[in-house]
Amino acid sequence: MCGLAFGFIFALAVSQAQNPWDKIWTGLGKSKGLSNETVVSGLKEALRVGSGNAVSLNGKVDGYFKNAAIKILMPEKLRSIEKGLRLAGQSRQVDEFVLSMNRAAEKAAPFAKDIFWVAIKRMTFSDATRILKGGNTAATDYFRGVTTEELTTAFQPIVTESMESIGVTRQYKVLAGRYNALPFPKSQAFDVDRYVVDKALDGLFYVLAEEERKIRTDPAARVTDLLRTVFGKQ
């Protein structure tokens, strides 16, 4: 869905013989008699659709777990625990722990939607211009810059609560306890909550960037009247 609006903008840019990026902004408005405010509104609409798609993709069952690009794996610092437990016949428990981390991220992802939408609402004309003239992940870079701190703060309690409710913390303690009982080198304490939060955000921005790339290269459809008005065929 999101691939539409951006896709048309950048297809238009490529079709221009000279200075394509400088012509995008004025071209959209002048060729259809649209005001700058209407064009900005169209971009914001596209970003709402795109960010909504990314949140939906991540915030469903298996949104992280079955996406190899963003699946949350055993933390590097706990790989020795994983190896030791698998050698000791505890592979099932390790797999359940990994699944639980991904489930926690999937529960947290939907809470990003409102934060993204507030960032879109606050977007200025200059922000919109930079995004339109930017590279294939300009919108994602914008979101990352203005929402990461707030997303981290919002995700932390959600992830912690989710992990507690589905047993991640308990499983980690059980795994660590079992590992400490084995004749292997011991691992240092690790903040698994923060690890899941960081990986959840990495995965969210990764999918958002993928959606944006599609948007910029694959004009497919306009899902609202505003998108059809602003990004329709010139």
pLDDT digits (tens, 9 = 90+) for 80-96: 778 877 888 878 888 88
User: Are the CB atoms for 143 and 208 separated by under 8 Å?
Assistant: yes
pLDDT at 41: 79
Query: What is the C-alpha separation between 92 and 79, in angstroms, rounded?
Result: 15
- Number of structural domains, the chain? 1
Given a cut of 90, is residue 212 above it in pLDDT? Answer: no
What pTM did the predictor assign? 0.75
Sequential DSSP letters for 125-151: HHHHHHHHHS-TTHHHHHHHHHHHHHH
pLDDT in tens, 148-157: 999 999 999 9
User: Are the CB atoms for 175 and 81 separated by under 8 Å?
Assistant: yes
- The residue ranking higher by pLDDT, 154 or 192, is 154
Which residue range(s) make up the domain with 125?
3-231
Given a cut of 90, is residue 141 above it in pLDDT? Answer: yes
Q: Where are the beta strands (DSSP E) in the chain?
A: none
pLDDT at 26: 46
Taking alpha carbons only, the member of 91, 90, 98 closest to residue 178 is 90
Given a cut of 70, is residue 183 above it in pLDDT? Answer: no
